[in-house]
Amino acid sequence: MTATPTGLNTTATPIPPGISATPTSPSMGATPSHPAEVLDISALGAQVVLRPAGGAAADQTDLTYDVTGRPRGLVAQPHVHTDQVERFEVLSGEMRLVLNRRRHVLRAGDRMEVPAGQPHRQLASGAGDGHVRVTVSPAGRTEEFLRRLAALSRERQFTRQGFPKPLAAARLILDFADTGHATFPPLPVQRLIANAVLALAEMWREYAFVDEWDVAAPAAAVFEALADGRTYPEWWRPVYLDVQADGPPAVGSVSHQHFKGRLPYHLRTRSRITRLEPDRVIAADVDGDLRGHGVWTLTPTATGTHIRFEWTVHADRRLLRVLTPFMRSALRANHNWAIARAIDGLEPYLVSRTQA
């Protein structure tokens, strides 16, 4: 199975050639009140057309959708729908349905039903693309699941073979396994593995910090100090030990930093300025012992300047990678200590420069 945050909206795309915007099967009822919607799941070799419900006689608890292409990967694996009956109608091409360990080749005009709770798999068959109409009863969360697959396809969360990447797979299992899941391994084992994957990801996730404070100095002076990292050892003490730059701050310019925190280790990074708006914004990408992105945003106030520092970073140094799962709170405290030194040092530095 697969995942991403729920509630994702997928923008409708033009109906593929050969697929009408209105139902062609007599079982679909009267003319729909709104057009069909196409979900592009090309990472799985398919497009899905969500068919709108028909008139008042249509069963609103069912969901009907068309699948075109040659589905592969996740959707072609053995699986089971716990409480849903699934009906297939081949409109063109062929499909192979494996049910009760028997293989059935369905061609244009053929129909077949899979009872709820029955393990099965459907695969592309024959040459060229197929066009299959699928109805699930009751609809359950199938539409939400299809939209999730489309979102994952768009976000490149599938491998070349059509299987979800680990985090996406874990979330799919936990979000949708109650209505449909792979037949192997047993569902409790799938859930156990999914929870373990997400727990590990949480342990090694990036750090995201946001710090704000006010300085009694004009934005132009604050901007000048923050943009030029070569000033940091003068006021951001004892954090910054040395900063070397290839010239004055400018978009694309590079500087090298040597600094430390309260914990007993030193760090070395390289930063490249990516955005520079005088007196307003400074942004830079950083790599080395830390890898991430920082943004300083300056806002004038009645008494000076409000500073907002957004810092999103991964710990790439081996020691920090090892410590991250076990000392996340300590590493955050280390960051807070370093920022406190910036707050202590920046305003006095700017005042001394004004008086000089």
256-309 pLDDT, tens per residue?
999 998 878 888 999 999 999 999 999 999 998 888 999 999 999 999 999 999
**In a shared domain, residues 284 and 141:** no
| Average pLDDT taken over every residue of the chain | 85
Domain residue limits at 247: 207-355
- The answer to whether position 308 is within a domain reads yes
The answer to whether position 6 is within a domain reads: no
pLDDT tens figures, 320-338: 555 555 566 777 888 999 9
* The residue type at 355: Q
- Do 183 and 242 share a structural domain? no
- Euclidean distance between the first and final Cα of the chain, in Å? 66
13 within domain boundaries: no
Cis status, amide bond into 138, omega within 30 of 0: yes
Residue 307 belongs to some domain of the structure: yes
Q: What is the residue-wise DSSP string for 259-272?
A: EE-SSS-EEEEEEE
Let me know whether 196 and 214 are in one domain. Answer: no
Q: Kindly state whether residues 122 and 260 are assigned to the same domain.
A: no
223: Cα within 13 Å, side-chain hemisphere: 18
| Residue 142 and residue 265 in one domain | no
Number of structural domains (the chain) is 2
Q: Is 135 helix (H, G, I), strand (E, B) or coil?
A: strand
Q: Do 180 and 283 share a domain, yes or no?
A: no
pLDDT at 316: 56
**Residues 75-126: pLDDT tens digits?**
999 999 999 999 999 999 999 999 988 999 999 999 999 999 999 999 999 9
Domain match, 133 and 260 both:
no
Give the pLDDT band of residue 32 (cuts 50, 70, 90): very low
Percent of the chain exceeding pLDDT 70 equals 82
Q: What is the pTM assigned to this prediction?
A: 0.56
Give the pLDDT confidence of 174-193 residue by residue, as tens digits.
999 988 999 999 999 999 99
Task: Write out the two tokens for 25.
Answer: 């099967």
Q: Convert the pLDDT of each residue in 214-224 to its tens digit.
A: 999 999 999 99
Same domain, 196 and 297: no
Indicate whether 194 and 223 sit together in one domain: no
- Does residue 18 lie in a domain region? no
Q: How far apart are CA 218 and CA 224, in angstroms?
A: 10
- Given 156, 172, 202, which residue is the final one in a domain? 202
Q: What CATH number did the domain enclosing 38 receive? A: 2.60.120.10
Give yes or no for a contact between 43 and 76, defined as CB atoms under 8 angstroms apart.
no
